[in-house]
Structure 1
């Protein structure tokens, strides 16, 4: 019998890769920074809040992860170009782009204003599109491929009864963007995928993990839909992220990877 010749050495290695993390100070953004930074990537981290960004860079430094901070949001073509230019100047190019930023406005559609709807779309869709456009130009010119990872959600696939018309719409759009760019950039060796979490532990969801009657009621209702029987932890996102950012995923593009304990499977 002849075994296939498969080289697994360095399959998940991102050492020396130049990675841009947009929305780095958010809950998922911090997971991205720690995961890629400790795996050896050279980071360019962005956020709109200067104080939070400084604190993040300091914390990363204490953890042995060097990061170049850029105090910008992806809210204009000029800002996105400047973020990419900073990564090129600091690290000689762009190999990985992770969009970890996003917002939500929760209200039933009759109470949601057009301005609130546009705020969600601008942050979750327009910003992702503009950042991908700016980074993609550099990746194509470099001629060495690249990795783009968007942040979607289980709500890109599933609806929600409690006022998520803007959020669900935006994440469905991110899913469409993932597939479109996966097709468009495949010939350049650039893979484009999205990671789609459901509830995982963060400052915003900490109340769901508390041991009280109110939290337990909400948690039990949610867990009835989760086959693995628990809520997500930050490390549950690290594995799929590293896969999508490394050569392990070179034959995977245009995919939505659900990090949800099976929530969307049932």
Structure 2
């Protein structure tokens, strides 16, 4: 008989993230906050980054309520210097970085014939350029120090599918994010670094709250979305956390370059 390995004797050990250190950008958003609470409750140390100091303070309080160890930094990765400052703050605070969660993002809807170029570029900057800066800053540290880090980005089914609601900027940015995931995975695989993305359909957040309201347009949009989802409901941020934990823990050590669709079946039909 084959030997029963320690991992097979204790399968939950594959999801052990205790004493790891994670940077989470966009930590005050719905996905970033859920990641912070999930990882914090499991003993992951956290560097929470966002452009909103008040919202960061709220997330920090919640992380501490679940027993987490975290610090905050009010900053956006708008330039490489910002990303390097975030990286250096994490290293000064905890001495290492094991995971990078890029949860920051932005959308500005508008049909191409009506949309200003500046609005399109702002979406691309927030969703692609900022991720590239963070990847460069943290990835350089990992490679130079021979650390087998884990990078997780926030994508969307809109990186694969179009949308009739004026998403030329958002869909394009998420397609770019997906390509960045794959190419970094191929470049960094030799160093043992994994790079993956989670791609949900609509989930409840500040950006989508109007779809949960009584607004007629919001309700119509919600029903149109539900018609494409076999599970017949929209998502909560918590629905994404099982996949996030998998991709940030040793359980996913042989998984890289993947766009993981956590979408209620949207992309199946």
Give the TM-score normalised by the residue count of structure 1. Answer: 0.94
Tell which deviates more after alignment, 189-198 or 138-147.
138-147
**Aligned-pair CA distance for 1:211:** 6.9
Residue matched to 2:243: 240
**Aligned-pair CA distance for 1:215:** 5.2
Separation (CA, whole Å) in 2 of partners of 1:34 and 1:257: 21
Residue matched to 1:164: 167
**Aligned-pair CA distance for 1:38:** 1.0
**Aligned-pair CA distance for 1:217:** 4.1
**Aligned-pair CA distance for 1:142:** 2.6
- 117 and 185 in structure 1: CA distance in 2 versus 1, 3 angstrom threshold: same
Secondary structure of the residue aligned to 1:21 is: strand
Separation (CA, whole Å) in 2 of partners of 1:222 and 1:123: 25
Separation (CA, whole Å) in 1 of partners of 2:255 and 2:53: 35
Give the TM-score normalised by the residue count of structure 2. Answer: 0.93
List gaps (5 residues or longer) in structure 2: none
Separation (CA, whole Å) in 1 of partners of 2:35 and 2:177: 18
| 1:132 pairs with 2:135 | yes
Indicate if the aligned counterparts of 1:18 and 1:91 stay in contact, CA closer than 8 A.
Answer: yes
Residue matched to 1:112: 115
Secondary structure of the residue aligned to 1:20 is: strand
Cα deviations by residue, 1:11-68 (Å, 9 ceiling, x for unpaired)? 1111100100001001111011111111211000101122222232223223322211
2:226 to 200, 223, 228: 223
- 60 and 129 in structure 1: CA distance in 2 versus 1, 3 angstrom threshold: same
**Aligned-pair CA distance for 1:236:** 0.7
| 1:194 pairs with 2:197 | yes
1:97 to 92, 96, 100: 100
Separation (CA, whole Å) in 2 of partners of 1:9 and 1:54: 32
Cα deviations by residue, 1:146-204 (Å, 9 ceiling, x for unpaired)? 10001110100000111100000000000000000000000111000001111112233
